[in-house]
Amino acid sequence: MTSIRTYGHNGKFARELTPQDVTGLPVRDAEALIAEIKPRLREIHQDPNGQLRDKSAAERIEFDQLIPLLDAAELHLKVTDTVRHRPRAVERAGSETRGGEPSRRAAAYEVPPGVAEDRDRALRMLDEYRADDVLSAAAADRADEVLRHRDPQGLTARYLTAVGDQCYGSAFGKMLADPQMAHLRFSAAEVDAVREATYAKAAAEARAALTTGATGFPLPLTVDPSIIRTGAGALNPVRDLASVAVIGTHDWVGVSSDGVTAGYVQEGVEATDASPTVAGPKISTQQGRAFCQFTIEAGQDWPTLQTELEGLVADARDVLDATMFLTGNGTNQPYGIFGGSATYSLTTTQRVQTNTVATYAAGDPWLLKAALPARFIPSATFAAAPATWDTTWQFVAAGSTTQARQFDDGRGGPFLGRPKVEWSTMGTGATTGTKLIVAGDFRTGYKIVDRLGMTAEIIPHMLGANRLPLGTRGLYVYWRTGAAVVAQNAFRYLEVK
């Protein structure tokens, strides 16, 4: 494997490539890769006069690594060439009409015919579930975004179509009711649906380098919180505030910057370098898991259990994420806003301390707002525990003529002219070191990455203290989520001195 800097249409990313990776590149990136490899091969092989030159040991290794990449890229372009020269309506599945209406967005890349068909089936399925109110508009749009812009090989499209098949949903219900013998009662359509869902899951995990030998089944689309969820509850508001990406692979790699500095100059004066400090954050998804028991009788009533299961799993995940997005340390868990990482969490550089030691007083929140960079004030949100907001509300008595009240429209209204939310796992009180309020542009500064899909394994019989069956079954579900602060300067936080 060799390190090749590929530029693509946006000129922004670099990655380690193998010949297998090349087959999944968008066409423009494959062309850019070829344009980059060929000059390097000539540079290694010839001197400036075009004469053969002796290669060093390192150059011979690089030459041998570049040739397979070049061959793979050229073959990839030949395979997709017929697609590139088709009429527009056939060439881009994202430009076709579905349900008599044009698609909402064109595709972000050109796709081979087989991938286009998989994606079109997945998009039609999303539209059907949206029309039946199974998926909210927000949930369908998240999945749509993945299919159109982050699924060049169609693996996510195949997965969504498989877990969204109604026959897979009914087969999953039979497995809950009778984990050991359910397959004997599958219809032919259910057998095919389970097989396709299993294959789709394995293909997606292999591409993401997540193959672990697990034998679990993916959750049906109608139960999977990673697909259907529309946001966390009021006491875990982070998903509603932050930028949330749904991916079909293991890692999210992005580009972030605090911005570019502009200025006016005299005519004819040489420009100064206003290049921003660009970071390339990489967020790896970590495994989360939950376990719930249900009676054998409940398992036999799949429609009722389906609704309960959706709520239980989503609630368990919300409770966990409310803590992880605050204090997760990045070791087998997401990075929290106060996770302790110098790179992916807030540091003392973003800290604002109260005026008085071990005291939280009326003037302290104003210090926090004043410390926010000007560019982030219009999009800032304040977050604190409910008890902290209660304390803050009582700082200034109603009708006071000595100091303006900090809440704009009662206890439940905005705070200091900006929206506020309640985050139940944040600190309270006035002990030195307590982080009371965090303020800033969450959408710019904090990124949550969910890997599409959750997996379930069914335990046929739960045993009691005497190792005898309890008449209940167990459902063990696991998912992958990552998170990190990607722009520290977008935040400031108030800490008790």
- What are the residue ranges of helices labelled H in 422-485? 442-445
Residue 76 Cα distances to 152, 153, 183, 249, 462, angstroms = 13, 12, 40, 21, 51
Phi/psi at 30 (nearest 5 deg)?
A: -65, -40
Give the percent of the chain with pLDDT over 90.
Answer: 24
pLDDT value of position 233: 43
Please, what is the Cα angle at 109 between 108 and 115, to 5 degrees? 115
Cα(217)–Cα(317) distance, rounded to whole angstroms? Answer: 19
| pLDDT tier at 10, thresholds 50, 70, 90 | very low
**3-state DSSP assignment of residue 134:** coil
Q: What is the mean pLDDT of residues 60-83?
A: 70
| pLDDT tier at 78, thresholds 50, 70, 90 | low
Least trusted range by pLDDT, from 86-100, 197-211, 252-266, 430-444: 86-100
pLDDT digits (tens, 9 = 90+) for 161-185: 888 888 888 888 888 888 888 888 8
Tokens of 73: 């890229």
Non-local CB neighbours of 113 within 8 Å, separated by 6+ positions: 83
DSSP string, 204-217: HHHHTT-------E
Residue 417 predicted with pLDDT over 70: yes
Residue 275 predicted with pLDDT over 50: yes
Beta bridge partners of 70: none
Residue 417 Cα distances to 379, 398, 402, 439, 493, angstroms = 11, 18, 19, 12, 17
Least trusted range by pLDDT, from 60-74, 78-92, 156-170, 254-268: 78-92
DSSP conformation class of 219 = P
For residues 208-241, b (16+ Cβ closer than 10 Å) or e, as one string?
bebeeeeebbbbbbbbbbbbbbebbeebbbbbbb
Residue 422 predicted with pLDDT over 80: yes
pLDDT digits (tens, 9 = 90+) for 181-211: 888 888 888 998 888 888 777 776 655 544 4
DSSP string, 385-425: -HHHHHHHHTSS-TT-SSS--SBSSSTTS-BTTB-EEE-TT
pLDDT digits (tens, 9 = 90+) for 430-460: 999 999 999 999 999 999 988 777 788 888 8
Q: What amino acid occupies position 58?
A: A
- Domains with residue ranges and CATH for the chain: 2-88 (no CATH), 111-210 (no CATH), 223-257+278-497 (3.90.1690)
Cα(478)–Cα(476) distance, rounded to whole angstroms? Answer: 7
| pLDDT tier at 276, thresholds 50, 70, 90 | low
Residue 348 predicted with pLDDT over 90: yes
| pLDDT tier at 79, thresholds 50, 70, 90 | low
pLDDT value of position 206: 58
How far is C-alpha 108 from the geometric centre of its chain's CA atoms?
A: 18
Residue 240 predicted with pLDDT over 50: yes
pLDDT digits (tens, 9 = 90+) for 376-405: 999 999 999 999 999 999 887 655 655 567
pLDDT value of position 81: 55
pLDDT value of position 12: 34
Residue 112 predicted with pLDDT over 50: yes
Residue 6 predicted with pLDDT over 60: no
Q: Are 429 and 420 in contact (CB under 8 A)?
A: no
pLDDT value of position 28: 77
Cα(215)–Cα(476) distance, rounded to whole angstroms? Answer: 12
pLDDT value of position 372: 95
- Look at residues 333, 338, 340, 351 and name the one whose alpha carbon lies nearest to residue 385: 338
Q: Are 344 and 330 in contact (CB under 8 A)?
A: yes
Residue 231 predicted with pLDDT over 70: no
Residue scoring higher pLDDT (321 or 220):
321
Give the percent of the chain with pLDDT over 70.
Answer: 74
pLDDT digits (tens, 9 = 90+) for 131-158: 877 777 767 777 777 777 767 777 788 8
For residues 320-349, b (16+ Cβ closer than 10 Å) or e, as one string?
bbbebbbbbbbeebbbbbbbebeebbbeee
**Which range has the top average pLDDT, 200-209, 293-302, 346-355, 442-451?**
346-355
How far is C-alpha 277 from the geometric centre of its chain's CA atoms?
A: 24
pLDDT value of position 282: 80
- Look at residues 257, 238, 435 and name the one whose alpha carbon lies nearest to residue 351: 435
Residue 15 predicted with pLDDT over 70: no
DSSP conformation class of 76 = H
DSSP conformation class of 300 = T
Count of beta carbons in the 10 Å neighbourhood of residue 244: 20
DSSP conformation class of 84 = H
Count of beta carbons in the 10 Å neighbourhood of residue 282: 12
